A and B are shown apart, each in its own frame.
Chain A
Amino acid sequence: MDIAYKQKIAEIIFENIRDGIIMLDRNSKILAVNSAIEKWTEKPVSDLIDKDCTDVFHDITGICPHCAAKVTFETGEVNIVMQKGNHKDIAYYAELSAYPIKGDTGELTGCVVFIQDVTERMLCHEEILGLYTEVTQTKEYLEGFIENSADAIITSDQDGIITSWNKGAERIYGFTKEDAIGKFLPFVPDFLIDPEYEMAHRVIDGEVLKEIETMRKMKDGTIITVSLTLSPIKDAAGKVIGISCISRDISKKKRVEKELIRRNQELSRLFFISSAMRGTLELDRLLRMVLTAVTMGDGLGFNRAILFLFDEKEKILKGAVGVGPASPEEAWQIWERLSLEKKTLSDIMRDIEIGPLRKDSFFDRLSRGMEIPLSEETILTKTAKEKKPFNIQDVKKEPLSDTVLIQQLGTHAYAVSPLISRDKVIGVLWVDNHFNRRHITDEDMRFLSGFSNHITTAIESARLFEQVALAEQELENIFESISDMVCFITKDYVIKSINKAVSKRLGKPHDEIIGKKCYEVFHGMSSPWTKCPHHETVETKKAYVEEVEDHYLGGTFITSSSPIFGTTGEFIGTVHVIRDITELKNLQERLIMTERMAALGEVAARVAHEIRNPLVSVGGFARRLEKKLDGNLKEYADIIAREVERLEGILNEILGFVKETRFVKEIVNPNRLIEEVISLIKSEVDERGIVIVKEIEEPTEIYVDPNRIKEALLNILSNAVQAMGNNGTLFVKTYVKDNAAVFEIKDTGMGIAGEDLPFIFDPFFTTKKTGTGLGLTITHRIIEGHKGSIEVESKPGAGSIFRVFIPLNNIMDEK
C-alpha cells in the first residue's frame, strides 16, 4: 500500500470517527481537529485551527483537552481522564485520551486527544451503583430484621435440616445458632413430627401456610404455644429448595388473653359483690361476704381467708371472721357451690348464710379464737405496722412467719394485705391456698391489695352504721327509761310517739294515746290550750320552758318544748318534755313550813326575853307601888299589876304551846327522810364543793312526825356542812341497830372541843358568829319527843359524828 493511500484511509477514518479528535502542540495551540469535534464546540472546524485550545474549550464546554494533554507532555505517556461538563445545561461525561506524537528523533512534537462521549455509559453505571447500594441496604436491613426480630425466623432445606437460625429463634426455643444449624427440626415435639411432615410437603408444593397454631418444644423441654408462617424458598429458577418458618411465641399472649378474660370476670364479680356490700350495713354479714368474695372461685379464688380486725384499746389483731373449708373434700364442695354464675344477690346471701362458709363453721371458730398482740414481731403485725402487703412463699424460709397460723391452720404459704382507712390500719386480710397449693402470684397480690382498699370503705361505713344503730338504741333506752314524760307532737297537735312515763302518768295504754290530740289527752280540752308550751312553739317555732299547774292531771309540771324541723327545714312538730314536780313542790312547801316552825321556836325564845323582862319590871314595880300607896292610887297600881299578871299568863300559854308542839306521826321510811333532807342542803353543799357519801341500808319503817324529824336532821346536817367550810366529805349512813333506826352523820369539819361536848345541846350554846344557839336544842327536843336519843363523837380538827336513834318498836305501841 502506498503512503498516499494510507494517508487517504487515515483522513477518512479521521473525519468519520464518532469521537472528537484534536491535535495540540506544547502551547495548547490547535493543530488539527476532526469534524466530530464540532459537537463539543459548536464552531466550524475552520474557526478552530491555530486557536488556543484554552479559549475554545474549558470555560465554555466544561471539558479541557489541553488539561489531558498537559500530563502527556510532561510524562510522555498516554493519559486517560474522565471529565464532567455542562453543555446547554445538560450534564455530560467525556472520556479524554491523550496520546503523544513523537518526532523522528523521539522528541514530543504534539499530542492527539480523543474525546469520547460516555454520558450514557456513566449514567447507566450510576444507576447500577445506586441499585447496588439499595440492595446492600435492603439486605442489611433484612438481616437486621431477621436477627433482631422478636419472632423466630428459621430456614431449613427440604429435608428439615436447619440452615439459618436468628436470635429470635434462640430466645424463643432456647437453642443457640450453633445448637440448631445442621440439625433436624430440633424444636418439634415428638408427638407432632407426622403433622409437621405433612405441612412441609404442602410448603414444598408451593403453598404458603399462615398463622398455624401449634406447639413447640424448648431446649429445656417446656412446651410452648406458637403461631407459624411457613413459606417455600425458591431459587432463581423457581425451584423450591427449602422452607422458611416464622414462628411467634404466643404462650404469653394466650396467658394475657386468659388473664384479661379472668380479670374482666373478676372485676364484674367484684363489682357485683361490692354493690352487695354497699347494700349491707350489718358488719358481721358484711365481713362474711367479703371473705366469701375472697375465696369464691370466680372471685379472688383463694382457698381460705381470715379477716383480722385491729383492737385499738388492747393493741391486738383479733380474728373476726374466717372463711374456708375444713378438708379437701369440703373444699371441693364449696368451690362447686360458690360460684356467682347465674346467681342472684339473694342466692349468694343464702349461700353465705347456710352454705359451708356459714358462721360458726369449724374454720370460722378457729379463726375467731386468734389474737395476735401488736407487740409481737410477725408477718401479720408487720403488715399492720408497715401498712404494706406481704406474700410469704414458704413459711419455712420466713423467720417472721406467724406460728399460730402454721400450727393451727397448717399453712405453707400465705399472703396478707392491710386494710387501711384514712391512714389508719383497721385490720389485716389473710389468705392462703392450702388445698390446691396454687402459687400466690404478684397479680394475685395486686388484686388482693385493690380488694382490701375496697372492703375497708365498706367496713368503715358498716361500723359507722353500727355506731349509729347503737346510739339509736341507746336513745330509745333513754327515751323509755327516763322518768320525765317525753312525747313527740306534730304541728297539728297529734301525739306521734310517747315514752312509758307518759302512759304511766296518764294511766292509759300506749295505743290509746298515740294519734290523739295532745290537748284532749293532757288537758281534757277540745281546742289547744293557749298557755301550753307546744302551742307557743307551734305559733313561734321557738323553744319554750314553763312551769304549769294543771288541774286536769292534778299537779305541777315543768314543761319544755323544742321545735323539730324536717330535712328541708320545715317545722314538723315539737319534742315535749314534761316533768312532774308536784312532789317537789310539796316538798318545798313543807320545807318552808319546817323553817317556819324552827323559826317559831327561836322567835318564841326571843319574844320571851324581849317581852317578859319589861313585863316583870312593869308588874314588879306596880306591886311595889301598890304596897306604898293608898286609896285610888293603890287601886290603879293593883290594876296595872293584875293586867301584867294576865299578860304573863297569856305569854306562858303561847310559849308553852310552842315548846310542847304536838307531833303529827305517820309511818315513814327513814331513808326517804334523810334523802329529802339531803336534797334541801344540796345547793349549799355543791356551792362549797363538799362531797356527800351515802350509805343507805335496806329500808325500814318508823312511826314519827316526818317534818319534825327532818327538822332535827336538817339542824345536824347544816351544822356539819358549816363545820367543814369549803371542801370536805359528808358521810350519811342509815342502818338498824339495837331495835332502832339509826341516822349517822359524819363530817370532816373542825370538830368540837372536849370541854364543849357536854353542852352542845344546851340553849344558846354556840361557837358560831351567827345563829341563836338553839338549833341543836330543838333537835334534841324533837328526838327526845320521839323517845329517841342522840349521841355525839368528836375530835377537834378531825370532825364529828352524830347518831340519831329512833326506836322501831314504837309503831305498834303508839298505834
Chain B
Amino acid sequence: MKILVVDDDLHIQRLYKEEFEEEGYEVVIASNGKEAIELFDSEVPDIVTLDILLPDVDGIRLLRQMKEKRPKVPIIMSTAYDYRDDFAVWASEAYIVKSSDLDELKATIKKMLTKE
C-alpha cells in the first residue's frame, strides 16, 4: 500500500514517513500542490494525507482535483486547525487535526484501506 503525504513541514514529512513505513506502508512525500498532483498521477497512491495550508495552492482545491482524477482514493485531511464546519463541500473521507500522537491517524488509514 502506498501513502502520499502532502505537507510542507519537513519535520512532519520525516515523522510521518518513518512512522508509516514502520507500519509497513510505502510512503511518497510532496511539499506543495504541484508535486502532490504529479506524484498522485505517477505513483498512484492508495491513500493520501493532505494538509490545507500549502505554499502554492490550498488543500481544498487539491482535494477536488484529486477527487476528479480518482474519486475512489481515500483522502484524509490533516490540518493544524479544525475547519471542518466551514467547508461548503466536504469531499474528503476523514478529517484529523494534527497531533503528536499519531495513533488516531494511523488507525484511520488502516480503517480506510481495509474498507476497500
Q: Which residues of A contact B (CB under 8 A)?
A: 604-605, 608-609, 611-624, 641, 644-645, 648, 652, 655, 659, 758-759, 761-765, 773, 777, 780-781, 784
B86 at interface, CB cutoff 8 A: yes
- B99 / chain A contacts, CB cutoff of 8 Å: 616, 619, 648
Q: Is the CB of B102 within 8 A of A620?
A: yes
Q: Which residues of B contact A758 (CB under 8 A)?
A: 88-89
Known: A609-B81, A613-B12, A773-B58. A645 touches B98 (CB 8 A): no
- Residue numbers in A under 8 Å from B83 (CB-CB): 762-763, 777
Check if B80 sits within 8 Å of A762, measured CB to CB.
no
Task: Specify which of A604, A641, A659, A784 is in contact with B100 (CB 8 Å cutoff).
Answer: A641
6 A-B residue pairs with Cβ-Cβ distance under 8 Å, sorted by A, are A613-B98, A623-B101, A623-B102, A761-B88, A762-B58, A762-B87
Which residues 53-73 of B sit at the A interface, judged by CB distance below 8 A?
53, 58, 60-61
**Residues in B whose Cβ lies below 8 Å from that of A659:** 82
Determine whether B44 belongs to the interface, using a CB cutoff of 8 Å to chain A.
Answer: no
Q: Which residues of A contact B100 (CB under 8 A)?
A: 615-620, 622-623, 641, 644-645, 648
Compute the total of residue contacts between A and B using a CB distance below 8 Å.
Answer: 90
Is the beta-carbon distance between B82 and A655 smaller than 8 angstroms? Answer: yes
- Judged by a CB distance under 8 angstroms, whether B52 is at the interface is yes
Alpha-carbon distance between A622 and B101 when the two chains are bound, in angstroms: 10
* A-chain residues with CB within 8 Å of residue B80 when the two chains form the complex: 608-609, 611-613, 616
Distance in Å from the Cβ of B42 to the closest Cβ of chain A? 26
How far in angstroms is the closest Cβ of chain B from A684?
27
Nearest chain B CB to A640 CB, angstrom units: 9
Contact B88 A759 (CB under 8 A): yes
Q: Which residues of B contact A648 (CB under 8 A)?
A: 99-100
Task: List the A side residues contacting B85 at CB < 8 Å.
Answer: 781, 784
Contact of A763 among B15, B19, B86, B97 (CB under 8 A): B86
B14 CB to closest chain A CB (Å) equals 8
Residues of B within 8 A of A655 (CB): 81-82
B115 in the interface, Cβ–Cβ < 8 Å?
no
Chain B, 88-115, CB within 8 A of any chain A CB? 88-89, 97-102
A617 contact from B9, B58, B82, B101, Cβ within 8 A: B9
A624 touches B98 (CB 8 A): no
Across the two chains, which residue of chain A brings its CB closest to B15?
A620
B12 touches A617 (CB 8 A): yes
Q: Shortest CB–CB separation between residue A275 and chain B, in angstroms?
A: 87
What 6 A-B pairs come out closest when comparing CB atoms?
Answer: A619-B100, A617-B11, A608-B81, A612-B80, A620-B15, A609-B80
A615 nearest CB neighbor, chain B only: B100
**Could you say which residues of chain A place their CB within 8 Å of the CB of B12?**
613, 616-617, 620
Shortest Cβ distance from residue B89 to the other chain A in the assembled complex, whole angstroms: 6
A766 vs chain B, min Cβ distance (A): 9
Are A761 and B86 in contact (CB-based, < 8 A)?
Answer: yes
With a cutoff of 8 Å between Cβ atoms, the chain A residues found around residue B88 in the complex are 758-759, 761-762
Interface residue ranges, B against A (CB under 8 Å): 9, 11-12, 15, 18-19, 52-53, 58, 60-61, 80-83, 85-89, 97-102
C-alpha gap A388/B27 in the complex (Å): 109
Cβ contact within 8 Å between A763 and B11: no
* Nearest-Cβ distance from residue B56 to partner chain A, whole angstroms: 12
Among candidates A624, A645, A765, A781, residue contacting B60 with C-beta atoms closer than 8 Å: A765
- CB-CB under 8 A from A780, the residues of chain B are 86
Identity of the chain B residue whose Cβ is nearest the Cβ of A776 in the assembled complex: B86
B13 to chain A, nearest CB (A): 10
CB distance from B81 to the nearest CB of A (A): 4
Shortest CB-to-CB span from A239 to chain B, Å, is 149
Taking CB atoms, residues of chain B closer than 8 Å to A765 are 58, 60
Among A605, A764, A777, A780, the most chain B Cβ lie within 10 Å of the Cβ of A764
Contact B81 A762 (CB under 8 A): no
Looking at the assembled complex, report how far the CB atom of A803 sits from the nearest CB atom of chain B, in whole angstroms: 16
Residues of A within 8 Å of B101, CB to CB, are 619, 623, 645
**B102 shortest CB reach to chain A, Å:** 6
Contact of A764 with B98 in the complex, beta carbons under 8 Å:
no
Determine if A781 and B86 form an interchain contact, defined as CB atoms under 8 angstroms apart: yes
Do A764 and B53 touch (CB < 8 A)? yes
CB distance from A489 to the nearest CB of B (A): 58
How many whole Å from A388's CB to the nearest CB in chain B? 84
Task: Determine if A621 and B15 form an interchain contact, defined as CB atoms under 8 angstroms apart.
Answer: yes
State whether B81 touches A605 (Cβ < 8 A). Answer: yes
Residues of A within 8 Å of B81, CB to CB, are 604-605, 608-609, 612, 655
* Cβ contacts under 8 Å, A764 to chain B: 52-53, 58, 60
Contacts of A784 in B (CB 8 A): 85
A510 CA to B47 CA, complexed, in Å: 81
- A6 to B74: give the CA distance in the assembly, Å: 207
What B residues does A777 contact at CB under 8 A?
83, 86
Across the interface, name the chain B residue whose C-beta is closest to A757: B88
Complex Cα gap A621–B81 (Å)? 21
Question: A477 vs B102: C-alpha distance in the bound complex, in angstroms?
Answer: 76
Contact pick for A759, options B15, B52, B60, CB 8 Å: B60
Chain B residues lying within 8 Å of A620, measured Cβ to Cβ, are 12, 15, 19, 100, 102
Query: How far in angstroms is the closest Cβ of chain B from A763?
Result: 5
Query: B16 to chain A: closest CB distance in Å?
Result: 8
Distance of A781 Cα from B88 Cα, bound (Å): 11
Contacts of B52 in A (CB 8 A): 763-764
Q: Which residues of A contact B11 (CB under 8 A)?
A: 613-614, 617, 621
When distances are taken between beta carbons in the complex, the residues of chain A under 8 Å from B53 are 609, 764
Smallest Cβ distance from B92 to chain A, in angstroms?
13
For the complex formed, measure the closest distance between the CB of B96 and the CB atoms of chain A, giving whole angstroms: 11
- Specify which chain B residues have a CB less than 8 angstroms from the CB of A623 in the assembled complex: 100-102
CA–CA, A611 and B97, complex, Å? 13
A780 to B29, CA, bound (A): 34
Chain B residues with Cβ under 8 A from A613's Cβ?
Answer: 9, 11-12, 80, 98
Complex CA gap A13/B15 in Å reads: 201
In the docked arrangement, what's the CA distance between A605 and B82, Å?
Answer: 9
CA distance A612 to B12 in the complex (A): 11
Give the docked Cα–Cα distance between A659 and B82 (Å): 9
Instruction: Provide the residues of chain A in CB contact with B15, threshold 8 Å.
Output: 616-617, 620-621, 624
In the assembled complex, the Cα of A815 lies from the Cα of B87 at a distance in Å of 30
Q: How far is the CA of A185 from the CA of B81 in the complex (A)?
A: 141
**A762/B60 in contact, CB under 8 A:** yes
Could you say which residues of chain B place their CB within 8 Å of the CB of A612? 80-81, 98
- CB contacts (< 8 Å) of A604 on chain B: these are 81
Q: What is the CA–CA distance of A530 and B26 in the complex, to the nearest angstrom?
A: 82
- Between A608, A655, A777, the greatest number of chain B beta carbons within 10 A of the residue's beta carbon is seen for A608
Q: Give the docked Cα–Cα distance between A613 and B99 (Å).
A: 8
Q: How far apart are the CA atoms of A160 and B38 in the complex, in Å?
A: 152
Residues of A within 8 Å of B97, CB to CB, are 652
Nearest CB in chain B: distance from A220 CB, A: 116
Query: Complex formed: what's the CA distance from A780 to B62 in Å?
Result: 22
Q: Which residues of B contact A759 (CB under 8 A)?
A: 60-61, 88-89
Q: How far is the CB of A695 from chain B (nearest CB, A)?
A: 29
Min distance, Cβ A647 to any Cβ of chain B, angstroms? 9
B108 to chain A minimum Cβ distance, whole angstroms, is: 16
Residues of B within 8 A of A619 (CB): 99-101
Q: Which residue of B lies closest to A774 (CB)?
A: B86
**With a CB–CB cut-off of 8 A, which chain A residues contact B9?**
613, 616-617
If A613-B98, A762-B83, A764-B58 are given as contacts, then 6 extra A-B residue pairs at C-beta distance below 8 Å, sorted by A number, are: A616-B100, A621-B15, A645-B100, A763-B60, A777-B86, A780-B86
- State the Cβ distance, B59 to closest chain A Cβ, in Å: 8
